Structures are given as structure tokens and as C-alpha cells.
Structure 1
Amino acid sequence: MGSHRRPASSGLDRGARSATLCVLSAAATALGLVPAGATPSAPAAPQDDARAEVDRLYAEAERATEAHNKAAERADALREKVTTAQDRIARQQDRINTMRDAIGSLAGAEYRSGGLDPSLALMLSADPDDYLDKAAVLDRIGTRQAGALKDLRGAMRRLSQERREATRDLAELEKSRVAVTHHKRAVERKLGRARQLLNAMADEERAAHERASRSGLVPDLGGAVPPSARAAAAVAAARSAVGRPYVWGANGPTGFDCSGLMQWSYAQAGVGLPRTSQAQAHAGHRVPLSQARPGDLVTYRSDASHIGMYMGNGQVIHAPYPGAPVRYDPVGMMPISSVTRP
């Protein structure tokens, strides 16, 4: 059987490879690819690639989470709107039925007093609009009958409009439901892949990643003061949440995603914030980072897909990603998009 071991390299082979490397390095330096005097950088270690991929998947999952939150918020609003419309339609239908009953009573009285007026017969038809179009030529309709029929026609038109709007909103609600499901699946896929990568890491590397994901001691926050009583209450709420788990799509009190933590914290101060980080970035007025005070919302990345609360002395509280509980981190942990004071 032949051996699968590679033959040992001779000194001549090593010299040739060394010369080739020098030529390639010189060419790279001449092309500006490698600074003069520097050697080509070594390829990234596999564990570094795995960590970078986990971080990328977490960032993408967070974007999908905020899209899920937005779709869910839209679905909730539409569901409430449809329910209100259905209640209103039912009341309107009851009113129309009452109006029809009243017109029927009037017709009965007419009949008992000597015959049914043709105008009332038309009032009881299925199409009062058609009757009004013909009423001008009948010239026998009285003021009372005309008023009753006009009210009925108006009520039926409003009911028809309400039904059209409700049908449209129901279709939009179904689209929102589909979007919620789509984004939820996207989050689950990305988080599942991240978990696979973490499980495939060597024990030492995985332990190092877990240590980096634990909440540490409370940092020195300096003497910065919140700009208002409600900001102070929100800061106190956010501090009380430190150590609670990241749960995607959750807004407390036992678990949070990034925007859910901001919404819950300000809710404890009696302030309503929108559900998503993108919307929260506009829930107040912008201030420069240099003027940030405790309680300000710090939005990250160009798409505002992550958010935290400024605590003072260059620190924020935020819900980082699955496996990492609510914690303090430096405000410059990732590119800042904006700072908003609710």
C-alpha cells in the first residue's frame, strides 16, 4: 500500500518557495495591496470566522425581529380597526332595520285607511335609491315619507361604505399576518444557524463567547442627570431589567428584545413609545451624542435596527441578542445612527 504522507521538502524546494513569496510580496507592495515593510496577513482563524458569522446572524436576526415587530404592530392596529368597524356595521344594520320597520308601520296605516299609497310601496322596495329617482315624477310623496326614505337611503349608503372599508382592512390584515409569519421564520432560521455554529465551536471558544455575553458589574455612570422626571423613571426601569433574558419579539416584563426594553421602560414612566427601533428613533427630538443624557434613546446601524438607553458616562443599557441578557455596554459598541430624547 502506498503512503498518503507528503514527501519531505528539500532545501532547494524551500528556497524556491521563499523566493516566490518574496516576489509575490514585492508585487503586492508595488500594487499598494500590502504596506511596504509589512508581511501578508495570516488568514483568519476558523474560530474567528465562526464568531464573525454568529455576530452577523444575530444582527440579521435583529433586523428581522424589528420587521416582525412592525408587522405585528400593524396587524394589531388593523385587527382593532376591523373589530370596531364590524361593531359599527352591526349597529348601522340595526338602525336600518328599525327605519324599515317604521316605514312598514306607516304603510300599514295607509293601507288600513283606504289603500297603500304608491309612494309607500316604493319605499318598501329593495332599492330606495331607485324610488327617489322616480319620486319626482310621482308627485304624490308627502314630506314625512320623503324624509324617512332619505334617511334610509343615507344609512344604507353609509353601511355599504363601511362594508367596503372593512373588506379592504380585512385583506390588509391578512397581508400583515403573512408578513408576521415570514419574519418570524426568518428570525428562527438565523437564530438556529447561529446556535449550530456556537455548538460546533471548541469548548474553550464557546466558553469565551459566553463570558462575553454575561452581564458584568454596574459601571461608573458619572454624575449625569436625566433631563426630566419621566426620563428618570424610565432609567430606573431599565436598570431594574439588567440581567433579564433577551427574548425576540418580547417587550417585558420577564424578557425583552432591544426595542421592547425601551418601550417597557418608558411605559413604567407613563410614556407610550412605538414598538420598533426605527419608529422609536423618531419618538422625540434629536440631540448630538455629545449632549446625550440618561434616558435618551441611542439608535444603531444605518437601518436603526438596534436601540439602547443612554445611562451616562458613555454607557448604555440594552438587550443585545439571544443568550446575552440585558446589560451595560459602551455607547460606541456599534455605529450610532441617532440619539433621541423622548
Structure 2
Amino acid sequence: MSVHRRSPLLVRALVLTAAATTALSVTAGGSAQAAPGAPGTPDLRDVKAQVEQLYDEAERASEKCNAAQEAQKRLQSETALLQGEVAAGQDQLNQLRGDLATVAGAQYRGGGMTQTAQLMLSSDPESYLARARTLGQAAERQRETLHELVSRQRTLDQRRTETAGKLAELDQARRSLAENKQQIQQRLAKAQKLLNSLGAAERARMLVQDANDAERRATRGTDRLDLGTTPAASERGAAALAAAVRMIGSPYVYGSTGPRAFDCSGLMYYSWRQAGVTLPRTSQAQAFAGQRISLSEARPGDLVIFYRDMHHVGMYAGGGVMVHAPYPGAKVRYESVNAMPVAGVVRL
């Protein structure tokens, strides 16, 4: 396993992370807080732990929000298609009913005599027989039309029921989307309030420390990033990883799929799109997008799914290291796959 010098991209990620603290301190608002250790000053470790917990809860809600958005798009398309089928079916039904009404009117005007009586009274029996055969054919067509009418009515009723069901699902998806967006906003507001309780210097120090901790985990405490020499499982996997690495330093934004900002599953979605593969939108769905393998079998480009509910995902880069979008305030970066509990590895 070869050892590489510190990746310029990793250094770029750390520099950008440190630089971002200035912007965060401005948006956090408020004047400088009391010095660390002063009475009433929040403990940095406690704030960090609470903020991380809130970000984790927000990410769970974000992945549910992404799923609700995808469901909404799908249901809108399916509902529109069904509504079109219902409209077309109703037009066909109206036409068939018109045809039956025309035939029924002609029969009524023909009177009530039996065909035998009409034949006996006819001055031109041969013409009458020809007309009778035509009437028989018309009656057969009428029976066929009636059968088709009943069949189309059943189909139309079924489509209307399906449409009503899809509309109900669509309504549920919209409500779920709104609820999860509200949860995200609430968690982020609480996290921002906690960050605002710190001084600007403390906020900056926390972000830099977080980036340094990620680097230390990725480099195993050295100043070198070792991704090993194991090749990607496929050319597309290599292309996807290259795309993800190019995004190192990009900000984390909930619901984003690039090209300038990403959430965790959005980074995977974007990177694999650059390799010509369209992934599902959420980490939970991405967990079932390919072949499940063990972490010991992971190769560059494979997806690494985290937590029991699979609400976080990264891309394996080699040497026990992944590329992922962590959470707000932290940029896309290298990270050890052992930083979070692994739920599974997926090869596409």
C-alpha cells in the first residue's frame, strides 16, 4: 500500500472550512460573547455535541424530505396520466352511448311487427330479406357495442378509483414534505441559537477543530492521506469517485444535488450522474441500488451507508477513507469510514 503526501484537495477543504467560519460568525449575529471559562459561558464541548445531534436529526428529516419530493414528482406524473385516461375513457363511453341511442331509435321507428309478419306483408320479399339480414347484423353490432360499453364503464370506474387513490397519496406526500421541511428548519434554528451562544472566536475554533478531527481520522493521525492502490470496481466507479473528489470543499446544503452545494445523498447522486448512472435520490433508496458487499470488500466508488436507518451515505475512496458531505458548516471532505456506524456497502 503506497503512502501519498497530504492531498492538495484535503488541504483546500480545510482552508475553505476555516475561511467559512468568518461568514458563519457574521450570519450568527450578535456581539462578541464572554471569554471562554467566564461565568455563564456555554461549554464548547456541550454546544458541539448538541449541535451535532441537531444536525443529525435535521439530516434524517432531510432524507425523508427528499423521499417525499421524489414521491410527489412521481405521483403528479401518474395522476396526470390517469386523469388523461379518465377523460379519454369518458369520451369513448359517450360515443358508444350515442351509437346505441341511434340504433335503439331506428328499432323503435321500425314498429313492433314480427319479422314473419313483415315478410308476409312485404311487396318485395327479396328486398325485405336483404334488409332483415342487415338488421340482424346491426343487432349483433349492437350487442357487441353494449358489451364494449359495459367493459369500458368498468375500466373507467377502475381508473377513477386509481386516480382518487393517487390524489390521496399525493396529498400525503405534500403534507409529509411540509412536515419534514418544518423539522429541518426547527433543528437548524435550534443549532444556530446554540452557535450564537458562543463567541465568534469559539465558533471559528469549533469549526476548525472539527475539520482537524476529520483530517486526523482520515490520515490516522499522520500528515499523509493514504488511499491505497486498490482500483475501483469499474470505470464508472472510478469516474464517480473522481467527480466526488472534485467537489471537495463544496458546502453542505440540505436538499442540494450540486453542482455547487450538496447534501450527503445529493453528492452521491451528482457524482454518479457524471459517470452516466442515475441513482435514487435518497440514502435509504441508494442503499438498495446495487449489490450489497462487506466493508472489507469495499473498493473506490462504492457507496458506504451509515446508521441503522441509513440516513447518511458517503463514497469509498480507498484505504478506509471516504468522501462525503457531512453537515451544515462543514465542507465536502475526506473522512474515515469508521467515523460513523456502517450499515452496509453498495457496489453499482
Same fold (TM over 0.5): yes
Provide the residue aligned with 2:268 in structure 1. Answer: 262
SS at match of 1:270: coil
Is the CA contact 1:285–1:340 (under 8 Å) kept in the aligned structure 2? yes
1:80 to 77, 83, 86: 77
Structure 1 unmatched runs, 5+: 1-44, 118-140
Task: State the alpha-carbon separation in 1 of the partners of residues 309 and 294 from structure 2.
Answer: 18
Trace 1:246-261 onto structure 2 (pairs within 5 A): 246-261=252-267
1:273 to 264, 279, 285: 279
Structure 2 unmatched runs, 5+: 1-41, 114-137, 216-222
Provide the residue aligned with 2:251 in structure 1. Answer: 245
SS at match of 2:63: helix
Is 1:204 equivalent to 2:210 in the alignment? no
Is 1:146 equivalent to 2:143 in the alignment? yes
Is the CA contact 2:44–2:206 (under 8 Å) kept in the aligned structure 1? no
Query: What is the deviation of 1:95?
Result: 1.5
SS at match of 1:328: strand
Provide the residue aligned with 1:286 in structure 2. Answer: 292
For 1:224, the aligned partner's letter is T
Query: What is the aligned-residue identity percentage?
Result: 45
Q: Which has the higher relative contact order, 1 or 2, with Cα contacts under 8 A spaced 6 or more apart?
A: 2
Task: State the alpha-carbon separation in 2 of the partners of residues 268 and 183 from structure 1.
Answer: 29
Would the alpha carbon gap of residues 224 and 260 (structure 1) be closer, same or farther in structure 2, given more than 3 Å must change?
A: same
Is the CA contact 1:235–1:295 (under 8 Å) kept in the aligned structure 2? yes
Provide the residue aligned with 2:236 in structure 1. Answer: 230
SS at match of 1:286: strand
For 2:100, the aligned partner's letter is I
Is the CA contact 1:107–1:116 (under 8 Å) kept in the aligned structure 2? no
CA offset digits 1:235-275 (Å, max 9, x no partner): 12212222222110122222211011112211222222222
Query: What is the deviation of 1:109?
Result: 4.5
For 2:151, the aligned partner's letter is G
Q: What is the count of residue pairs matched by the alignment? A: 276
CA offset digits 1:287-322 (Å, max 9, x no partner): 221221001111112221111000112211111101
TM-score by length of 2: 0.73
Is 1:171 equivalent to 2:168 in the alignment? yes
Trace 1:1-342 onto structure 2 (pairs within 5 A): 46-107=43-104, 109-110=106-107, 114-115=110-111, 142-212=139-209, 219-342=225-348
TM-score by length of 1: 0.75
For 1:89, the aligned partner's letter is V
Query: What is the deviation of 1:64?
Result: 1.0
Task: State the alpha-carbon separation in 2 of the partners of residues 260 and 213 from structure 1.
Answer: 22
